[in-house]
């Protein structure tokens, strides 16, 4: 199958980030040239809800609305109400595919865990209320995120940048939540992530870049550069996704067509509104 017809989908990209301010249109064009059929743009706080929505409509992409755990201190007392208002205002927008990026981050010091958990619970309640899937952030917090998912009765979505255990992976899958794999998988030292990418059920996996974050290994000047805190030699962007996909295919013994077909089908299953956008 020619690369031009492979249905690559980037399920997580922060196209609104300041790193793309100077050449955002060119970034999108490079993604199209690399045969990406769809890119999901998650919001992180009320201040960028309309930005991601406008970008999605301008470029024929899709978006999610939510409050990221790293922004809990800046979101303000009315953040959940602002999210509710935006979700209801745009509930019939075909390009609104999920509530996200939401979750917990127990890695970054100084974040109020109780506030994070309160906001996550409130956002999961909104997702259930509106029958929308979720894009989940679960850094050093997978078990607590799973607990909240079960308590809220939310099923469906994506555990973004998954880096947990096999047991935790299957717990997400039991809740119809797929697992996002991206640049971290390209590092030979990322043994656990690579084992999961190779061994999980074929219907568990979706692809993402998290651009401009989590750059793949080849964007560093040296293979050990990321581990040693070296800055990247180039910016991560959605056009890197097909090459990231080659890593997944290599780990699983899939060719490019198999990788694209499986991960695109999984993305549509995780985010059902994508199906109409890809038709």
212 preceded by a cis bond (ω within 30 of 0): yes
Residues 77-114 pLDDT 10s:
899 999 999 999 999 999 999 999 999 999 999 999 99
What pLDDT sits at residue 4?
Answer: 46
Residue 227 pLDDT exceeds 80 = no
What pLDDT sits at residue 229?
Answer: 52
Tell me the C-alpha distance between 52 and 43, whole Å: 6
Tell me the C-alpha distance between 61 and 53, whole Å: 9
Compute the average pLDDT of residues 57-70.
98
| Residue among 209, 177, 16 at smallest CA distance from 103 | 177
Assign 135 to helix, strand or coil.
strand
| Residue among 101, 106, 202 at smallest CA distance from 161 | 101
101 preceded by a cis bond (ω within 30 of 0): yes
Q: Considering the entire predicted model, what is its pTM?
A: 0.95
Residue 171 pLDDT exceeds 50 = yes
Q: Quick one: which H or E segment has residue 102?
A: strand 96-105
What pLDDT sits at residue 2?
Answer: 40
Residue 266 pLDDT exceeds 50 = yes
Buried b (16+ CB within 10 A) or exposed e, 72-89: beebeeebbebbbebbee
Mean of all residue pLDDT scores within the chain: 94
End-to-end C-alpha distance for the chain, whole angstroms? 19
| Residue among 269, 69, 61, 64 at smallest CA distance from 156 | 269
Label residue 75 by pLDDT band (50, 70, 90).
confident
Label residue 233 by pLDDT band (50, 70, 90).
low
What pLDDT sits at residue 234?
Answer: 78
Q: What percentage of the chain reaches a pLDDT higher than 90?
A: 90
The set of residues, in sequence order, having a beta carbon less than 8 Å from that of 47 and lying 6+ positions away, is none
Label residue 3 by pLDDT band (50, 70, 90).
very low
Compute the average pLDDT of residues 178-185.
98
Label residue 223 by pLDDT band (50, 70, 90).
low
Compute the average pLDDT of residues 114-121.
97
Label residue 222 by pLDDT band (50, 70, 90).
low
Compute the average pLDDT of residues 48-70.
98
* CATH label of the domain that carries residue 205: 3.20.20.140
| Domain with 12 in it | 3-278
The set of residues, in sequence order, having a beta carbon less than 8 Å from that of 115 and lying 6+ positions away, is 72, 73
Residues 138-150 pLDDT 10s:
999 999 999 999 9
Tell me the C-alpha distance between 62 and 56, whole Å: 5
Tell me the C-alpha distance between 174 and 213, whole Å: 28
Q: How many domains does the chain have?
A: 1
Residue 225 pLDDT exceeds 60 = no
Tell me the C-alpha distance between 178 and 162, whole Å: 9
């Amino acid at each position: 199958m020619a690369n031009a017809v492979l249905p690559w989908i980037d399920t997580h990209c922060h196209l609104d980030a300041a790193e793309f301010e100077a050449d955002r249109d060119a970034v999108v064009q490079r993604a199209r040239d690399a045969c990406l059929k769809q890119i999901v743009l998650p919001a992180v706080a009320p201040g960028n809800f309309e930005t991601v929505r406008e970008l999605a409509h301008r470029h024929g992409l899709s978006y999610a609305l939510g409050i990221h755990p790293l922004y809990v201190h800046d979101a303000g007392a009315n953040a959940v109400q602002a999210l509710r208002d935006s979700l209801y205002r745009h509930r019939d927008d075909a390009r609104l595919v999920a509530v996200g990026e939401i979750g917990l981050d127990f890695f970054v010091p100084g974040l109020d865990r109780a506030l994070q958990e309160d906001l996550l619970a409130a956002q999961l309640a909104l997702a259930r209320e509106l029958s929308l899937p979720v894009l989940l952030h679960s850094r050093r917090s997978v078990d607590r995120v799973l607990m909240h998912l079960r308590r809220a009765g939310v099923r469906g979505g994506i555990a973004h940048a998954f880096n947990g255990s096999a047991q935790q992976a299957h717990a997400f899958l039991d809740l119809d939540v797929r697992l996002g794999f991206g640049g971290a998988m390209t590092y030979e030292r990322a043994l656990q992530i690579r084992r999961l990418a190779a061994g999980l059920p074929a219907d568990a996996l979706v692809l993402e870049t998290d651009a401009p974050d989590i750059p793949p290994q080849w964007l560093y000047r040296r293979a050990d550069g990321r581990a040693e805190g070296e800055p990247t030699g180039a910016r991560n962007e959605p056009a890197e996704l097909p090459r990231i996909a080659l890593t997944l295919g290599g780990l699983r013994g899939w060719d490019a067509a198999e990788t694209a077909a499986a991960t695109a089908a999984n993305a549509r299953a995780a985010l059902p509104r994508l199906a109409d956008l890809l038709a």
